[in-house]
Structures are given as structure tokens and as C-alpha cells.
Amino acid sequence: MTHAMRPSFPTDLPAALRPLGRQIAYSKDDRVFRKGDTVRFVFLVLDGALRLSRFARDGSEIALHRACRGEFFAEAALDAACYHCDAIASQASTLLAFPADQVRELLDQDPAFARQWIALLTRQLHAARTRVERLALKSAAERVLHYLHTEGQGPRSEVALTGSLKDLARELGLTHESLYRTLARLQRDGVVTRGEHDLGLA
């Protein structure tokens, strides 16, 4: 991996935070932490992608959040004693782990950092509510289109398919079979286009 592939450390974060981070590598499907674990770190994704998931009684997985390169995750754990979900590496990933108590300290001492942290949480909250809105849609097609409209980039609302379609199905609260059929129908009807590794409106 080249340096060019690696995202720069978010430029708007204080230099004081950087040295606190310890770099750790994870393999696909590794658990960074599990529900109930004591909160020791918050994380920044240097490379790869993680998902935060809970598991229903029947064992089915529900992805609450996806964290990609350059994004923090487990920020909501800062005020909690233990993690409330599992963090799973969707692919091989490199993280920076920041000790939670030191981040708390920095939040208390560095107003600029606190202000940035507020902005971060606000974005996360928006994203979570958008996901609520999406899951409240009853039809699979509506959820896919909502996903494209809210997560997509560019004139055709394209989204990169980083993981498998099964992952996307999990994120949309659908079975993968339903998603396959829905995508096939939307494509047949000329509503969406599918590339090798992306999806977008026609």
C-alpha cells in the first residue's frame, strides 16, 4: 500500500490528538470490540471499512452504521461505560485507537476540538435518522431508491459497492434474495444502472 492510498489525518482535528492514537491492523471479520466490552478507545479508520452491528435473538445481524476511511467510529461510546454493539471489520482495515479517557480530557480542555466533535456527532445523528427514515419505508424498491438519493454522489446518485450485495442487503434491512430481485426489476424497468462496483440512477 502506498501513502497516496492512505487518507491524510483529518486536517481539521487538533494536532494534540494525533500522538494519542495507536495504530492497529485488523483482518476481515475481526471484532474490534463487542457489545458489553468496557469502553477503552474510540477509533479512526485509516484504511478499510468497519460496521457497527447488533444481533437479534435469532442471530440475524443488523448493521447500525458503516465507518469508512477517514471516519471516526464509536464516538457515541465516549459517554458510555460499555459498547452497545459489535464493531466488525468488513474488510482488512487499519485503525487508529484513541484512549477514551484521554479524548474526554481533550474535549474538556480544547474548545476547538469539542466544537469539531459536536459537528461530528451532528453528522452522525443526521445519518442515523436518515437510516431510520429509510427503514420505515415498506417496499424494497423504495429503500433502494432512498439509499441512492441519500448516499449517492453525483448527478446519477452513484454509490460505490465496497462490499458484497449481501452487505448492502443487511444495511437496507432486506434479505439478499429480495435485494437481488429488486435490483433486477429496477434495472429491467430502466430506473437504476449497475456497474461492476457501483450502482446509480439511470
Q: What's the full length of the chain, in residues?
A: 202
The answer to whether residue 101 forms part of the interface with its own copies (CB under 8 A) is no
All three cell numbers of 189: 424497468
- Smallest gap from residue 178 Cβ to DNA (A): 3
Task: Mark the segment that binds DNA (CB under 7 A) among 35-43, 61-69, 102-110, 164-172.
Answer: 164-172
Residue with cell 459517554: 79
Cα dihedral sign for 29, 183, 130, 7?
A: positive
The answer to whether residue 76 forms part of the interface with DNA (CB under 7 A) is no
Q: Which residues pair with 44 in a beta bridge?
A: 72, 96
Q: Measured from the CB atom, is 24 or 99 closer to its own copies?
A: 99
The answer for 83, left when phi > 0, alpha when psi is -120 to 50, beta otherwise, is: beta
140, interface contact from its own copies, DNA, none, CB < 5-8 Å by kind? DNA
CB atoms closer than 10 angstroms to residue 77: 23
The answer to whether residue 121 forms part of the interface with its own copies (CB under 8 A) is yes
Give the helix ranges, DSSP H, for 77-175: 100-109, 111-136, 140-151, 165-172
Which residue from 13, 20, 137, 191 is in contact with its own copies, where contact means CB under 8 A? 137
The whole-angstrom separation of Cα 155 and Cα 60 is 35
13, interface contact from its own copies, DNA, none, CB < 5-8 Å by kind? none
- Smallest gap from residue 1 Cβ to DNA (A): 16
The answer to whether residue 85 forms part of the interface with its own copies (CB under 8 A) is yes
Binding site for its own copies (CB under 8 A): 52, 54, 56, 62, 64-65, 75-76, 78-80, 84-85, 107-109, 111, 114-115, 117-119, 121-126, 128-129, 131-133, 135-138, 142, 173
